């Protein structure tokens, strides 16, 4: 089984679903135009936690 996770921030750099899926396939070791009926795609969410101290609703760098 091959896996190729991307963080959601990668989507912002690629722009289109075709580019995103192509890069995922390449990361998993397949050509970007690879097609297969047995591919399983999973989706997940992340929460970004800023670095530094949060005071009075502001983030101060570490």
Q: Looking at residues 11-26, what average pLDDT do you find? A: 88
Among candidates 39, 33, 41, which has minimal Cα distance to 6?
A: 41
Task: State yes or no: pLDDT of 31 exceeds 90.
Answer: yes
Q: Looking at residues 41-58, what average pLDDT do you find? A: 75
Q: Which of 40-44, 48-52, 56-60 has the lowest mean pLDDT?
A: 56-60
Q: What is the pLDDT of residue 12?
A: 82
Among candidates 40, 43, 44, which has minimal Cα distance to 1?
A: 40
The DSSP 8-state label assigned to residue 30 in this structure reads S
Q: What is the pLDDT of residue 26?
A: 92
């Amino acid at each position: 089984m091959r896996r190729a996770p991307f963080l959601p921030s990668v989507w912002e750099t690629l722009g289109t679903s075709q580019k995103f899926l192509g890069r995922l396939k390449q990361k998993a070791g397949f050509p970007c135009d690879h097609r297969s009926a047995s591919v399983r795609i999973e989706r997940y969410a992340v929460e970004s936690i800023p670095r530094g101290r949060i005071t009075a609703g502001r983030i101060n760098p570490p």
